[in-house]
Chain A
Amino acid sequence: MALRPLTLPLSITRRIAPLSRPFSSSTVSHPSNQIQIYISRLTDPYLNLSIEHFLLQRTPPDSFVLLLYANRPCVVVGRNQNPWVEANLGLLRERGVLGRLRRDHFQNGGDGSGVGYGEGEENDILLVRRRSGGGAVFHDAGNANWSVICPPASFDRDAHAAMVVRALGSRLGVAGCRVNARHDIVMDIPSSPSSASPILPRSSSPPADAGGERESGEASQPFKISGSAYKLTRSRSLHHGTCLLSSPHLPLLGRVLRSPAAPYILARGVESVRSPVRNAGVGSLRAFEDAVVAEFGAMYRADQAGVKVQVLGGDGDGEEGVSEEAVRGIPEVRRGYEELVSPEWIYTQTPQFTFSTHPSASDPRPRPAAPFRMSMTVRHGKITEASLSSSSSPSSTNLDSEFSLLGKHLHLVRDWREYIPGARGEWLNGIFGGGGDDIGRDNTKS
């Protein structure tokens, strides 16, 4: 698509435009706003994704929009993923879990940086399902999110990842970055025995692509620093991605993103592919924002336009921004938020899956030994079939348990012992992360 030449003088400042309602449905949808740039200082992942969705729905069809944000710790799964497979829900339900994991890790030979986290919300991990496709990722303040919304005719799976590569390379001096065949940004690191990362978070693409990683030869190894996902609507396209700048949590990701239930679950939908990751080594989120804003500006000729960066939230440090209250007050944002925090969206959107403690004809994978036999089918998050057997329990007890589970939403089964007494319920609590509270909802503002 031919870009509309812009002739206004550039001034990328951190000031909001002098309008009475600088961030509203009517402002973002105004046809004159061909290029829009937002930086959210808000850290609620449900809110940032709702702002993004609002912009996707409301900005003019031919406009180009950039949104940058960083979330508080959370696991974000793709639209068609299974949270019981993608995340250790038991850990996610534990209050202050990041603090505990950090203490455990750094007491065992870590470098000790960042120790001293309290029990505040920065140590809880929320569970989020986004509206775009792709795989599961861990977010925290050191993992920046960039998001570009553009007309469908301009959609290209690599163009904006390449924009971020330029921001990293030319403006932040991070060498060796490129977009790989899976539309991720990787950093080629010269191979040395110590450079291998033990961390394997994920992206979702066929593993077959991974062979393409070897093109750079044995002398260097690619580490993923940024993963992409896309959402295509009738009139707009969204490409968003993460960028690991300086997350202190990389050594912990394996535990958070590895589910004890995964070996027993055969799921439809999208499974994540693990990739070795690392930080780009950019210490300042602000520097990253400036670099991406500058590249986006250059790409869409905002460098000649009076496009102002609008800050949402503001850091309370002299930075002027649209208040969180005003952002939350936008009806479309509020509706999007309510959907994203709802258990219906987070859990019952899960594609159908089966859980079986033992290999079967349809799922012959070997798996860790289970102390009894159980299988169930979960459709739209609800248990539609359940079968239990055990040599130590009378079959009538099993029937009672099966019966009590039928029609139950799996995410509402908080303590399996209520349905299957004794050691078997205990074991299931360990597998599904039962027995605790969900911190998701009550920890977010609405």
Chain B
Amino acid sequence: MASIMRCVRAAASRPSTFSRIAQANTSMRASNWKPATLARSFSSSPIRDIRKYTKEHEWIDLNADQTAGVIGISSYAAEELGDVVYVELPEEGREVGAGDAIGAVESVKSAADINAPVACRITSVNRLLEEKPGTINQVPEDDSHGGGWIAKVAVGEQGLKDLEALMTAEEYTAFTGEEH
């Protein structure tokens, strides 16, 4: 994800709903946060070792043995971008470095790059987003089937190193609070 705009929707209060809820439940997994308007239940595992965030508003979840992960864009970013109308998915099999543009989302006439949070190889992409790009607005941090995750990735040594520079959920919440 890239820059987020301040004046997209002047009516939206700050900090965002997401930030406020996340601040109230800092120990809660961000991906398990569920807006009241969403009735769907999550099938993903409630116990994860690591979810980290970039300043550019991507998240990455690593599995327990730290070899594979899922990436997506944050609830904060999804809200700021507005209605997502198209998602350019990453190319499967591609090896990328941290910060490389791997895809893009379009909303409100804006094409925003999605960047790799860490060095990784794209192993699969969320094809649901091709047909239902709005899923990103509804459940951007859901990494389960039907969620708004972007891609599954394999992570090696460099990726794990890159991970150390990323923010925890608490740090990210504080960071997005500062942006406003």
A: which residues have CB within 8 A of B?
Answer: 78-80, 131-135, 151-153, 155-159, 183, 203-206, 228-234, 236-237, 268-270, 351-352
Contacts and interface: CB of A to CB of B under 8 A. Distances in A.
B130 to A, nearest CB: 6
A156 B85 contact: no
21 contacts: A80-B85, A80-B106, A132-B110, A133-B107, A153-B3, A155-B3, A156-B5, A157-B7, A157-B108, A158-B7, A203-B109, A229-B111, A230-B108, A230-B109, A230-B111, A232-B2, A232-B112, A232-B113, A233-B113, A269-B106, A270-B106
* Among A78, A155, A232, A270, residue most surrounded by chain B Cβ atoms (within 10 Å): A232
A271 to B, nearest CB: 9
Contact of A79 (B5, B56, B83, B111): B111
A152 B2 contact: yes
A345 B106 CA distance: 17
B154 interface: no
B131 interface: yes
Say whether chain A's binding surface is mostly helix, strand, loop, or mixed. Answer: loop
B118 to A, nearest CB: 14
Interface string B127-145: 0001100000000000000
A153 B115 CA distance: 17
B96 interface: no
Contacts of B8: 157
B109 A237 contact: no
B6 interface: yes
Contacts of A206: 83
B90 to A, nearest CB: 14
B162 interface: no
Interface of B: 1-8, 56, 83, 85-86, 88, 99, 101, 104, 106-113, 115, 130-131, 179
Nearest to A206: B83
Contacts of A229: 109-111
Nearest to B131: A268
Q: Which of B3, B7, B83, B99 has the most CB of A within 10 A?
A: B3
A79 B85 CA distance: 12
A78 B109 contact: yes
A205 B3 contact: no
Contact of A233 (B83, B85, B88, B101): B101
Contacts of B88: 80
B111 A232 contact: yes
A79 B88 CA distance: 10
B111 A133 contact: yes
A157 B9 CA distance: 10
A134 B107 CA distance: 8
Q: Which of B7, B101, B179 has the most CB of A within 10 A?
A: B7
A230 B104 CA distance: 12
Contacts of A204: 109
B3 to A, nearest CB: 2
Contact of A131 (B6, B7, B111): B111
Contacts of A268: 86, 130-131
Given A232-B111, A269-B86, A133 B106 contact: yes
Counting chain A CB atoms within 10 Å of each CB, the highest count among B85, B99, B115 belongs to B85
Contacts of B131: 268
Nearest to B179: A153
Given A153-B179, A157-B8, A269-B86, A134 B109 contact: yes
A156 B6 contact: yes
A152 B111 contact: no
